[in-house]
């Protein structure tokens, strides 16, 4: 399992390319050969970048869904809408497809934010607004999500 760390600000050029920050590229180095999948986020106006190995684990779970249930079929279709494979080129750049750039309203300034095993790609203003809007609720959310878990000394 991949455990990515960090939040990075960078810029996207007119063609939709971003230079992967060195610290993130170092973490992604073992996965560069396999490539990545980029897709729309389900819950947020951002994109998600999956290392291919993580994407394959997720697809194995989704492939186990019974496709004779309409909800499962609808979910698979919506979840995979706009999915693209991407690679980091020899110059360390990643090309974000135009349709996905439009979905996330990505302009020049972006934020790459690790989310455990994936990287979220945000328009910088949307990222900051989302964090600010949810900051008051984070303590309640943390208690609800993690409060009943046995954490073995983690706080």
End-to-end CA distance of the chain, in Å?
22
What does the pLDDT read at residue 155? Answer: 53
Q: Which residue from 105, 92, 85 is spatially nearest to 24, judged by alpha carbons?
A: 92
For the chain, give the mean pLDDT: 91
Residue 139 pLDDT > 80: no
Residue 133 is predicted with a pLDDT of 80
Sorted by where each starts, the structural domains of the chain and their CATH numbers stand as 7-123 (3.40.1550.20)
The arithmetic mean of pLDDT across residues 78-96, rounded, is: 94
Q: How confident is the model at residue 149 (pLDDT cuts 50, 70, 90)?
A: low
Q: Which residues contact 18 (CB under 8 A, 6 or more apart)?
A: 10, 11, 12, 93, 94, 96, 110, 112, 121
Task: Report yes or no on whether pTM surpasses 0.85.
Answer: yes
Inter-residue contact 49 to 36 (CB < 8 Å): yes
- The mean pLDDT of 8-30, rounded to a whole number, is 95
Q: 149 or 126, which is more confident? A: 126
């Amino acid at each position: 399992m991949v455990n990515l760390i960090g939040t990075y600000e960078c810029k996207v050029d007119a063609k939709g390319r971003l230079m992967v920050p060195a610290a993130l590229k170092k973490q992604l180095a073992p996965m560069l050969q396999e490539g990545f999948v980029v897709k729309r986020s389900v819950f947020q106006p951002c994109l998600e970048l999956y290392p291919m190995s993580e994407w394959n684990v997720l697809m194995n779970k989704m492939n186990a869904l019974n496709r004779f249930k309409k909800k499962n079929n609808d979910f698979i279709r919506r979840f995979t809408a706009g999915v693209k494979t991407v690679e980091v080129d020899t110059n360390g750049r990643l090309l974000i497809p135009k349709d996905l750039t439009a979905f996330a309203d990505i302009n020049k300034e972006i934020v790459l934010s690790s989310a455990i095993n994936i990287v979220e790609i945000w328009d910088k203003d949307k990222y900051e607004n989302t964090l600010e809007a949810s900051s008051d609720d984070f303590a309640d959310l943390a208690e609800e999500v993690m409060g009943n878990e046995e954490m073995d000394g983690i706080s």
